[in-house]
Amino acid sequence: MQQLEVIKILKKDLNFAASSIEKLKEFKNLVFKQNKNYNLIAKSTENQIWERHILDSAQLVKFIDFNSNSLADLGTGAGFPGLVIEIFNKNKAFHVKLYEKSPVKRQFLKGVIKQLSLNSEVLGDVQDEELNSETIVCRAFKKLDKVIQVSREIAKKPHKLIILKGQNAQEELNKSLKTKKYTYKLEKSITNEKSKIILMQID
């Protein structure tokens, strides 16, 4: 899927406003510019950024309650999915917290937030920070059992976990929930038929 096809899905299926699409284009340009110097995203995925990174992140807006106060993105990297979610967001009272341990990536994220006038906050490693959002998302953070551990030990309760996973999602769930059970649901990814989105309630 190339840019035009992805933009069509963003508008039609995910209700992205025209102004948000323009911000996504700016964001993509900033990623490309910095990717020349730093490895923000894998160079091999640059030509698929609209599908592999932007749409993959954007599909999460269907599962987010934007009437809550905040959302935390663990290990956000170049801002996927956190900044894409914030670009979509229409509620001024809602904001996205981006947790990232790399100082280089934190600097990049701050620059994007300033340039695009986004309501986001950049924080360090989640182990060193407070985690008090009602929704937690992650895309390429850690194995599921580690995400659940962070969620259980650091995050405030209750909260919702939204995790983008590959084809082994069910396997990881079975392994991670052996000792403690949590309510979860699996949704299909729109960018890869084998990938899944895990929705889990942590009380």
Digit-coded pLDDT (tens) for 155-196: 988 999 999 999 999 999 999 988 888 999 999 999 999 999
Query: What pLDDT does residue 129 have?
Result: 94
Helices 103-116 and 18-35: angle between axes, nearest 10 degrees: 150
Distance CA 74, CA 122 (A): 11
pLDDT digits (tens, 9 = 90+) for 129-165: 999 999 999 998 888 989 999 988 999 889 999 999 9
Give percent of the chain with pLDDT exceeding 90: 88
Distance CA 151, CA 154 (A): 6
Query: What pLDDT does residue 1 have?
Result: 87
Distance CA 135, CA 73 (A): 9
Give percent of the chain with pLDDT exceeding 70: 100
pLDDT score of 51 more than 90: yes
CATH for 3-202 is 3.40.50.150
CA dihedral in degrees (49, 106, 30, 193; nearest 10)?
10
Work out whether strand 196-202 and strand 159-165 pair parallel, antiparallel, or are unpaired: antiparallel
Question: φ, ψ for residue 116 (rounded to 5)?
Answer: -100, 5
Tell me the average pLDDT across 65-74: 96
pLDDT digits (tens, 9 = 90+) for 1-50: 899 999 999 999 999 999 999 999 999 999 999 999 998 999 999 999 99
